[in-house]
Structure 1
Amino acid sequence: MPDFPGKIRSHGCAARGREMARILKIGRDEWKKEKGYGRRWKVECTFSDAKRLFGDILRSRTRQTDVEETVAKALLLNEYKGIRMRCQGSR
């Protein structure tokens, strides 16, 4: 049976069906704003930067030092990104 404009087909996934109904109701652009669609790439880039700078393993041996190492790397990454932004802005 062909799909008709406005007909919702969730293919067995109720959550997808609800989201499709919401998109049809408010429009795709408004739905994207509502859901924060498009922010994932920022997170992916941040993790990519961290892995490129620090590698993808923790070198500590206990849970407490894992946390400390992770916090230290996050602080260093934030500082690095701040410096990089300031350097790019001065061009």
Structure 2
Amino acid sequence: MRKNARTSLSPRGEAVRQYQKQGYEKWKEKHGYGKRWSVEGFFSAVKRCFGETVRAASPQGMIREVKRKFTLYNLVTRI
């Protein structure tokens, strides 16, 4: 970020001001920046192992099936 960057009243401008005031490490910790990639990677790995679709027809069945997939993935990766 440029030191002379113009910031406005927008959410982006507010984030820039906080970033400049706190520094990168504190700003990153406060806002949880950079955590999304790990979640996306986990979902991608589960889909590679078990596929992207579910076979259950009801919403409750779909939730149970997805929970089983995540549980099984966690068990397999801990071996």
Instruction: Provide TM-score, normalisation by structure 1.
Output: 0.75
Which amino acid in structure 2 is aligned with residue 6 of structure 1?
Answer: N
Give the one of 16, 24, 27 matched to 1:28. Answer: 24
Is the contact made by 1:54 and 1:73 (CA closer than 8 Å) also made in structure 2?
yes
Is the contact made by 2:7 and 2:14 (CA closer than 8 Å) also made in structure 1?
no
Q: Measure, in 1, the Cα distance between the counterparts of 2:6 and 2:26.
A: 18
Larger Rg: 1
> Which segments of 5 or more consecutive residues in structure 2 lack a partner in the other structure?
none
The share of aligned pairs that are identical, in percent, is 35
- TM-superposition CA deviations, 1:51-81 (whole Å, max 9, x none): 1001001111111211110111111111122
Instruction: Provide TM-score, normalisation by structure 2.
Output: 0.85
Give the secondary-structure state (helix, strand or coil) at the position aligned to 2:55: coil
User: CA shift at 1:24, angstroms?
Assistant: 1.0
Give the secondary-structure state (helix, strand or coil) at the position aligned to 1:61: coil
1:63 aligns with 2:67: no
User: CA shift at 1:14, angstroms?
Assistant: 0.8
